[in-house]
Chain A
């Protein structure tokens, strides 16, 4: 069941993004930035957490889930670290993904090249 939900919900988020791109002629960059911001805002108001519980990877793998992780990490650190968490909290939950992308990117640049 969780697999079906992940497929349907994740697919639906991508479908909506695709429709917004094709119908409004928005560039992909704007859509990606917008969806991270939307995920962060929804996370801030406590809306994304139940959604993520419901849809699992269908909610956390797409970029709005990245925005949610930024915010939830920050919120989690707030009681412990106070205002400092505003600056340090967001990376706690997302740092692994960002660093992984950086490391794999640099490694890929060593071993392969861009081609047709």
Chain B
């Protein structure tokens, strides 16, 4: 198999990739199943604990079962996978690393908070394109309650949430990447984000902190590819939610990009307003769930021809916040094309 030049990761460069998303699998919590995309997910766990004894273990269960579901449906086993790339939000990405222990697959654990979905597709796509591996699984997971425990307050603590706060999604998602050319969509290009920090400090408004990172990555990707936002049927950011999306629209507009309703946000799409999730969804799995349930099927059916996934991440930690640090953010872009 010939190895295509993959371009250059750099300030002005982007990656030419040639990988196929052969399949995807999603496992979600009961609350996500009640959202507008609920009927599109592959599996719904019946309670937040998933039969485990802690929410951290439940999150691990979600990631592992998404991977297992993905492989099962294709009659594959873990030994058929060359590489697992993925990440989550917990501590030292324990969800991914512990699930890796259970799965016994070569593992590269990643962290870029909620940008992990595109980071893992980017690196998985790169590994496949380079010929270094033939079968890669990219996986992410997050859990509302384990994230609350880590980033916010005890669950039973009386806290009034503010309108800009986001709701960490409970779920696991896994994508199978190879070069077979058959499946849901092709990964054709990607841009690695640079870390942006506009001095925002409020962890209850991550959308506003992440919008500049999304804008920077989208604009760099478009310029490097000599495209405009009109070349896309869909630009899916994740997860700026209702507080961050209008800011991104303004930032892009100032640079002459007006994607209008081509620009959608996973945090807005995952829940309905009546679910009282404030500004919308977030979490490492949020954009992965929307990608797998909504975007990939439409690329496969030909309804969409070209889509850009721009997952965004807030890179703060509870400690950095307590020490008064601002919130650095990053966004990675992965360009997807329908298989013709």
Which residues does A use to contact B, with CB under 8 Å? 28, 114-116
Contact A116 B155 (CB under 8 A): yes
The binding surface of chain A is classed by DSSP as: loop
Taken together as a complex, chains A and B put the C-alpha atoms of A28 and B153 apart, in Å, by 12
The binding surface of chain B is classed by DSSP as: loop
Q: Is B48 an interface position by the 8 A CB rule?
A: yes
* Residue numbers in B under 8 Å from A116 (CB-CB): 31, 48, 144-145, 155
Contact A114 B156 (CB under 8 A): yes
**When the two chains form the complex, which single residue of B31, B154, B159, B160 contacts A114, counting CB atoms closer than 8 Å?**
B154
Give residues of chain B (141-156) contacting chain A, Cβ–Cβ below 8 Å. 144-145, 154-156
Taken together as a complex, chains A and B put the C-alpha atoms of A114 and B159 apart, in Å, by 14
A-B contact pairs, 14 of them (CB 8 A): A28-B159, A28-B160, A114-B154, A114-B155, A114-B156, A115-B48, A115-B145, A115-B155, A115-B156, A116-B31, A116-B48, A116-B144, A116-B145, A116-B155
Taken together as a complex, chains A and B put the C-alpha atoms of A114 and B49 apart, in Å, by 11
Taken together as a complex, chains A and B put the C-alpha atoms of A114 and B160 apart, in Å, by 17
Taken together as a complex, chains A and B put the C-alpha atoms of A22 and B163 apart, in Å, by 11
Residue of A nearest to B145 (CB): A116
One digit per residue, 1 when the CB lies within 8 angstroms of any chain A CB and 0 when it does not, for chain B 151-174 equals: 000111001100000000000000
Give residues of chain B (193-217) contacting chain A, Cβ–Cβ below 8 Å. none
Q: How far is the CB of A101 from chain B (nearest CB, A)?
A: 13
Taken together as a complex, chains A and B put the C-alpha atoms of A102 and B154 apart, in Å, by 16
Taken together as a complex, chains A and B put the C-alpha atoms of A116 and B160 apart, in Å, by 15
Taken together as a complex, chains A and B put the C-alpha atoms of A48 and B36 apart, in Å, by 53
Given contacts A114-B154, A114-B155, 12 further A-B contacts (CB under 8 A): A28-B159, A28-B160, A114-B156, A115-B48, A115-B145, A115-B155, A115-B156, A116-B31, A116-B48, A116-B144, A116-B145, A116-B155
* Residue numbers in A under 8 Å from B154 (CB-CB): 114
* Residue numbers in A under 8 Å from B155 (CB-CB): 114-116
Taken together as a complex, chains A and B put the C-alpha atoms of A116 and B31 apart, in Å, by 10
Q: How far is the CB of A33 from chain B (nearest CB, A)?
A: 15
Q: How far is the CB of A25 from chain B (nearest CB, A)?
A: 8
Q: How far is the CB of B145 from chain A (nearest CB, A)?
A: 6
Taken together as a complex, chains A and B put the C-alpha atoms of A104 and B31 apart, in Å, by 31
* Residue numbers in A under 8 Å from B31 (CB-CB): 116
Q: How far is the CB of A21 from chain B (nearest CB, A)?
A: 8
The 3 closest A-B pairs by CB, nearest first: A114-B155, A114-B156, A116-B48
* Residue numbers in B under 8 Å from A115 (CB-CB): 48, 145, 155-156
